[in-house]
Chain A
Amino acid sequence: MNSLLVKTFYETNPALGKPPEKRGLKELIETGVIPLDKPPSVTSTQVSMWIKKLFSLSKIGHAGTLEF
C-alpha cells in the first residue's frame, strides 16, 4: 500500500461492509481474480471456460490473450 494523504479523519461503522480479507469464500469468489499460469497446450479461452465450469460461475474473463 502506498501512503495516502489524509484530508479529513473519519471513523468507519463496523456494522457496514467488511475488509476484503474478512470476506467469506463465496463473496471472495464473486469479487475475485485468479492469477493463472497458463500452460502452452490450451488457449486462454479454454482455460477460462474450464475455471468457469469448475467453480460454476456465471461470468468469467481473462486479461490479455496469450495466444500470439
Chain B
Amino acid sequence: MTGVLPVTLEKTCKVMDTLLETDKEYVAVMKIHRDVSTEKLNNALAEFQGEIYQVPPARAAVKRRIRIRKIYSIKLLQKKGKYVLFKVHCEAGTYIRKLCVDIGRILGVNSQMVTLRRTRSGVFSEAEAYKPYQVAFAYYMWRERGREDLIRKIVHPVEEALSFLPRIVVKDSAVDPVCHGAYIAVPGVSALSPEIKRGDTVLIQTLKGEAVAIAKANMSTEDIYRRRKGVAANPLKVLMKPGTYSYDTYTEF
C-alpha cells in the first residue's frame, strides 16, 4: 500500500486527531473471481455512493461494530479481465479493503483488494507528496551543503495542514491567554470564517496567520459577528508556545 502519508513532526503531533478526520482519496485495484460486465460493475459501484455501513476488518485497530461512512464519489477507471481499477473519495476511517469485498457481494462474486494507493489525505495530494529518498536528499543538502530551499519545500507548516478548518482570527492581546488555555471571548475576535456552526472544530489564528490553538466553537459565525460579549470558542489543543504574544511586551497599537 502506497501513497500520501502526512507525517507530523514534534509539536504538530498534537493535532493528529484533527488530521485523521480529514477525507481521503484512493485508487485501488480489486480482483473479482468471476468476470462481470462493465455495466454491471458500474451499477454496483454506484450503489456505494453516499452513506455505507461498514464493519471494520478483523485486523483493524478499532472496535468491530457497524460504522457509517460517506463515499463522496466512486468511479471505475479501468477493467481488465478480473482486475478492476477504481477511484474513491471517502470519509476518514473508510476501509477500502472491506469496500472491495462488499462490492463483490453486491456483484454476487468473491472479490478482494489487490493494491491500494492513497492519492489525497486532507489538503495534501500525491502531486505534493515526497518519497523518502527526496526527504533524505533534502536533509543532506541542508546539513552538508547549507541549502535550505529543498527542506523548506518538504516540511510544511502546521497551518497549511489545518487550512481546511474554519478559522477565527484573534487580536494580539487575546493570543497569550488562549495559549494558557483561556476561552476565546467575542471582543477578542478580529475576523472569522463565514460557515462556523456551534460545536464545530475551528482553528484559532493570529493576525499574522499563525496557528494558536484548535478550539470548539461555542457560537455560530452569525452570533460571534453580532454579539459584543460572550464565549466564542473553547480551546481543545494549544499549539502556540505561551509567551509568544506575551502581555509584558505587548504595546497597544
Count of chain B residues with Cβ under 8 Å from any Cβ of A? 80
Decide yes or no whether B1 CB sits under 8 A from chain A: yes
A-B contact pairs, 29 of them (CB 8 A): A3-B194, A5-B194, A6-B190, A7-B191, A10-B253, A11-B207, A11-B253, A12-B208, A19-B210, A20-B157, A20-B159, A20-B211, A31-B158, A32-B8, A33-B12, A33-B161, A34-B156, A36-B6, A37-B126, A37-B129, A40-B1, A42-B132, A54-B139, A55-B9, A57-B10, A58-B10, A59-B10, A60-B13, A61-B13
9 new A-B contacts at CB < 8 Å, known A31-B9, A35-B4, A38-B2: A1-B163, A15-B251, A16-B250, A17-B175, A17-B210, A33-B19, A38-B1, A66-B2, A66-B3
Contact of B1 among A8, A17, A28, A66 (CB under 8 A): A66
Instruction: Report B2-22 CB contacts with A as 1/0, cut-off 8 Å.
Output: 111111111111001001101
Instruction: Report B156-180 CB contacts with A as 1/0, cut-off 8 Å.
Output: 1111110100010101100100000
Count of chain A residues with Cβ under 8 Å from any Cβ of B? 55
- A12 adjacent to B121 (CB under 8 Å): no
Query: Which secondary structure dominates where chain B touches chain A?
Result: mixed
- A55 adjacent to B210 (CB under 8 Å): no
- A6 adjacent to B191 (CB under 8 Å): yes
Bound Cα distance from A15 to B224, whole angstroms: 28
Given A25-B152, A31-B239, A60-B7, residue A10 in contact with residue B209 (CB < 8 A):
no
Decide yes or no whether B27 CB sits under 8 A from chain A: no
Decide yes or no whether B80 CB sits under 8 A from chain A: no
Given A17-B208, A31-B157, A61-B16, residue A66 in contact with residue B193 (CB < 8 A):
no
Whole-angstrom distance between the Cβ of B95 and the nearest chain A Cβ = 8
| Set of chain B residues within 8 Å of A50, measured between Cβ atoms | 132
| Set of chain A residues within 8 Å of B5, measured between Cβ atoms | 35-38, 44, 47, 62-64, 66
Contact of B9 among A7, A15, A32 (CB under 8 A): A32
- A29 adjacent to B6 (CB under 8 Å): no
Interface residues of B in 177-235 (CB under 8 A from A): 187, 189-194, 206-211, 221, 224-225
Most buried by B among A12, A16, A20, A40: A16
Bound Cα distance from A43 to B235, whole angstroms: 34
Bound Cα distance from A60 to B6, whole angstroms: 11
Whole-angstrom distance between the Cβ of A27 and the nearest chain B Cβ = 9
| Set of chain B residues within 8 Å of A29, measured between Cβ atoms | 9-10, 155
Contact of B139 among A3, A15, A30, A55 (CB under 8 A): A55
Whole-angstrom distance between the Cβ of A39 and the nearest chain B Cβ = 6
